[in-house]
Amino acid sequence: MCGIVGAVAQRNIEEILLEGLRRLEYRGYDSAGLLVVNSKGHVNYLRRVGKVKELAAAVTQYNMHGITGMAHTRWATHGEPTEKNAHPHISDYITVVHNGIIENHEPLRNSLIERGYCFNSQTDTEVIAHLVNWEYKQCKDSTLLEVIKKAIPQLRGTYSILVMDNRIPGILVAVTSGGPLVIGIGIGENFIASDQVALLPVTRNLIFLEEGDLVEMTCHNINIVNKAGHLIKRPHIESNIQYEACDKGKYRFYMQKEIYEQPVALKNTLEWRLVQGQINLNELGSQAYDLFSKVQHIKIVACGSSYHAGMVARNWFEELADIPCDVEIASEFRYRKSVVRSGHLIITLSQSGETADTLAALRLSKKIGFIGSLAVCNVQGSSLVRESDLVLMTKAGTEIGVASTKGFTTQLAVLLMLVVHLGRLNGMTKSVESNILNALQELPKRIEQVLSTDKNIAMLAEDFVYKYNALFLGRGNQYPIAMEGALKLKEISYIHAEAYSAGELKHGPLALIDIDMPVIVLAPNNALLEKLKSNIEEVRSRGSHLYIFADQDASFISNKGITIIPLPYVEEIVSPILYAVPLQLLSYYVALIKGKDIDQPRNLAKSVTVE
C-alpha cells in the first residue's frame, strides 16, 4: 500500500522527500523511513515506527542532508510495523523501497539464505535488496539497470520498486508492475513517486509510467524501457490538479470536518449538473452517447464504502433505468471467470482512484469484452481516471479521514445522476426525472438539518461505548446503508458490527440478539416499512435495545427498549444518501468517546494500493 518518493538532485532533498511522504500518508502510516546520500557520498539512513512526523522530527534532530535518495511510508503486509521492518531495506550498498507484495518471497528468502545472506527484517521486500545485491556480484561490470533486469523475472507479485546503489548515488532505478509510479521532471533534477501529489511542490511536468516499465533516472536523464524491453518515450504531461493542503479548521478531526462538509460537497457535485430543470452530464462528451446507446448490462465493481454505494446504484439502475445491473467486490471479480454479455458496461467506483483491486478489475475488463468503462472518482489525475473511457468526478474536495464520508455521499449523488442519464435513453419520463432532480436539489438542506441534531447523536453514542457488538438493519436501499453504518463503526471505533437485510434476521442473526446487542434500524417511511416493523418487533421481543432512525412523521414512538431518532423527510429515492449521515455521526462520536485515532485508525490506510 505504502508511498514511495525518490529524488536525484544537486541540492538537499530531505525536505522534498518528507513533504512527499506527508502527502502520501493516505497510503499507509505505520512506519516511515528515508535514505539520502550527501554530496560527499556519505549515507544518512533513518527509520521510525509511526507517522511521517516521527521521521521528520528525527531527520531534524540528526541534521540529516542528502542530494539523492528515497523515502517510504509503510502499510505493513509482511512483518509487523516495527523499525526493523520499515523501508528502505538495505543489502550492503543496495537500497530498496517497495510498494506491493512479493508473492514468492519465501523460496527467494530460503535460496538467498543458502547463498549466505542474513535477513534483518520479516518483510518480503528485503529479498529484493539481497537479490539485486547477489545479481550485482554475479556480473561485476553490469550497470544497476542491467542487474535489475536480471532480478525482475525472478519476482512474482505486484510491485513498484525504487533501487539505488549507495556507491553511485546519482542513479535511481525504478520498476513498476501493478503499482503506480510517476516521474517528475525538474531542471537538473528528477523525482519519482507513487502519486503526483507528492511531486507537485517541485514540478508539474510529469511522466506516468505504465505496467512493466523500467526506468533509469539521473539528474539530467530519464531512460524508460518498456515491458517488451524497448527503449521508449512516454508523453510528458503538465499536471493541472490542485492539491488542497487541508487543515482541520475549527474541527478536531478530518472525519468530523468531512461529515460537516457534506452539504457543500453535495452542492459542488450537483449544482453545475442540474441545469434548466435537467440533469446534464454533457461533460462525458459525444463518445459517451455512442457508448451508452449500446449499453444493455452494467457491472459495478468497487471495494469498501464504494461497494456499498454500488449496491444502492444497482437498485437504482434496475428500478429507474431498466438496465440489468450487478455489483461485485473488485477483489472477487478479478479472480473469477465472469460472463460478459453483449453491451456490457463496467462502472468502477473509487474515491482515490488508486484502489489496487478496482484498478486491476478495470484493466481486466479491457481484456474480456466489456464495451467500455466509466469511473466515478474523487481524485483528478488518478490512475482510475486516466485509464477509464469515461469519468464522472465527485466534487467532494480532498477527503483525508480514512473512513469515507463525503466521498461516499457524493458518489451516490453522481450515480443517481448517471442513472437518470441512462434512464432517459431507456424511456424515463420527464416527470420521474424532475422528481429526482428536485429531491437531489433538496438534499443538501436536509443534510444540514440532520447535522444540526448532532448533539442528540452524541448522547446516543454513549450507549455504545461499552458494547462489543452492534447490529445494523435495513431493507431495500437502506440495506447497503446499514452495511455502510456497520463498516464505519468497525473502522473507527473497533466495535464489531454487522449489517443484515432485516428480512434475513430469522435465518440466523436473530440468535445473536440479547440485551448486550444494540440494534440500529434504518426505517424511512417507504413501502417496506410495515414489513420492517414486524422485523423490529421480532428483535424487541428478544430484549435488544433498538435505535430506530425514522422519518419525523413516522408512527414510531420512543418507548422502553426503543429510541427513535427522527430524520427529516426526503423523497424515498435519495433517502439512502440522507440516512448515511447520522450513521457517520454515530460512529464518529462513539470513536471520539472511546479516544480512538479517528482519522488514521489502526491497521488501515486511506487508499488501498495493495491487493
Beta-sheet strand order (sheet of 519-523): 496-501, 469-474, 519-523, 546-551, 562-567
Task: Note whether 477 binds ligand GLU by CB under 6 A.
Answer: no
Task: Note whether 123 binds ligand GLU by CB under 6 A.
Answer: yes
- Report the C-alpha gap between 4 and 34 in whole angstroms: 10
- Report the C-alpha gap between 345 and 300 in whole angstroms: 8
Which position among 2, 303, 325, 377 bears the catalytic label? 2
Query: Whole-number minimum distance, CB 35 to ligand GLU, in Å?
Result: 15
Compute the CA torsion angle 422, 426, 430, 434 (nearest 10 deg): -30
From the centroid of its chain, how far is CA 448? 26
Question: Which CB atom, from 48 or from 98, has the smaller least distance to ligand GLU?
Answer: 98
Stretch that binds ligand GLU, among 121-129, 281-289, 295-303, 355-363 (CB under 6 A): 121-129
Question: Which CB atom, from 32 or from 522, has the smaller least distance to ligand GLU?
Answer: 32
Q: Characterize the bridge pairing of strands 157-165 and 94-102.
A: antiparallel
Question: Which CB atom, from 89 or from 446, has the smaller least distance to ligand GLU?
Answer: 89
Alpha helices (H) along 377-518 = 383-387, 406-425, 430-451, 454-461, 479-493
- Report the C-alpha gap between 116 and 235 in whole angstroms: 43
- Report the C-alpha gap between 537 and 530 in whole angstroms: 11
Task: Note whether 444 binds ligand GLU by CB under 6 A.
Answer: no
Residue located via cell numbers 480514512? 402
Query: Whole-number minimum distance, CB 73 to ligand GLU, in Å?
Result: 8
Pick one of 6, 16, 77, 475: the residue that binds ligand GLU (CB under 6 A). 77
Shortest-Cβ-distance residue relative to ligand GLU: 2
Are 94 and 133 in contact by the 8 Å Cβ rule? The answer is yes
Task: Note whether 2 binds ligand GLU by CB under 6 A.
Answer: yes
Active site residue 325: no
Number of residues that bind ligand GLU (CB under 6 A): 17
Query: Whole-number minimum distance, CB 89 to ligand GLU, in Å?
Result: 8
Question: Which CB atom, from 222 or from 303, has the smaller least distance to ligand GLU?
Answer: 303
- The CA-CA-CA angle for residues 302, 605, 6, to 5°, reads 110
Stretch that binds ligand GLU, among 75-83, 111-119, 506-514, 573-581 (CB under 6 A): 75-83
Stretch that binds ligand GLU, among 71-79, 225-233, 412-420, 503-511 (CB under 6 A): 71-79
Pick one of 9, 101, 193, 495: the residue that binds ligand GLU (CB under 6 A). 101
Active site residue 2: yes
Question: Which CB atom, from 125 or from 351, has the smaller least distance to ligand GLU?
Answer: 125
Task: Note whether 600 binds ligand GLU by CB under 6 A.
Answer: no
* Residues in region 22-41 near ligand GLU by CB under 6 A: 28
Task: Note whether 198 binds ligand GLU by CB under 6 A.
Answer: no
Pick one of 36, 52, 76, 162: the residue that binds ligand GLU (CB under 6 A). 76
Are 352 and 382 in contact by the 8 Å Cβ rule? The answer is yes
> Could you tell me the three cell numbers for 444?
443538501
Query: Whole-number minimum distance, CB 604 to ligand GLU, in Å?
Result: 13
Residues pairing with 47 in the sheet: 33
Task: Note whether 158 binds ligand GLU by CB under 6 A.
Answer: no
Residue located via cell numbers 536525484? 8
Residue located via cell numbers 488508486? 354
Pick one of 66, 69, 100, 485: the residue that binds ligand GLU (CB under 6 A). 100
- Report the C-alpha gap between 571 and 576 in whole angstroms: 10
Are 495 and 469 in contact by the 8 Å Cβ rule? The answer is yes
Question: Which CB atom, from 123 or from 394, has the smaller least distance to ligand GLU?
Answer: 123
Query: Whole-number minimum distance, CB 358 to ligand GLU, in Å?
Result: 17
- With left for phi above 0 and alpha for psi between -120 and 50, is residue 461 left, alpha or beta? alpha
Residues 6+ apart with CB under 8 A from 484: 305, 308, 408, 499, 580, 583
Pick one of 26, 36, 55, 75: the residue that binds ligand GLU (CB under 6 A). 75
Task: Note whether 51 binds ligand GLU by CB under 6 A.
Answer: no
The CB density around residue 329, as the number of other CB atoms within 10 Å, is 17
Stretch that binds ligand GLU, among 48-56, 70-78, 285-293, 324-332 (CB under 6 A): 70-78
Stretch that binds ligand GLU, among 92-100, 138-146, 319-327, 375-383 (CB under 6 A): 92-100
Are 564 and 465 in contact by the 8 Å Cβ rule? The answer is no
Task: Note whether 1 binds ligand GLU by CB under 6 A.
Answer: yes
Residues pairing with 278 in the sheet: 275
Task: Note whether 450 binds ligand GLU by CB under 6 A.
Answer: no
Binding mask 555-594 for ligand GLU (x = CB under 6 A): ----------------------------------------
Q: By C-alpha distance, which of 581, 573, 575 is closest to 279? A: 573
Query: Whole-number minimum distance, CB 37 to ligand GLU, in Å?
Result: 22
Supply the DSSP symbol for 199.
Answer: T
Question: Which CB atom, from 127 or from 413, has the smaller least distance to ligand GLU?
Answer: 127
> Could you tell me the three cell numbers for 604?
488501515
Task: Note whether 124 binds ligand GLU by CB under 6 A.
Answer: yes
Query: Whole-number minimum distance, CB 294 to ligand GLU, in Å?
Result: 39
Task: Note whether 234 binds ligand GLU by CB under 6 A.
Answer: no
- Report the C-alpha gap between 403 and 386 in whole angstroms: 25
Residues 6+ apart with CB under 8 A from 60: none
Task: Note whether 74 binds ligand GLU by CB under 6 A.
Answer: yes
Which position among 51, 395, 406, 606 bears the catalytic label? 606
The CB density around residue 231, as the number of other CB atoms within 10 Å, is 9
Query: Whole-number minimum distance, CB 128 to ligand GLU, in Å?
Result: 10
DSSP string computed for 515-582: TT--EEEEE-SSTTHHHHHHHHHHHHTTT--EEEEEETTSS---BTTEEEEEE----GGGHHHHHHHH
Question: Which CB atom, from 100 or from 401, has the smaller least distance to ligand GLU?
Answer: 100
Which residues are identified as catalytic? 2, 606
Where does this chain bind ligand GLU (CB under 6 A)?
1-2, 28, 74-79, 98-101, 123-125, 610
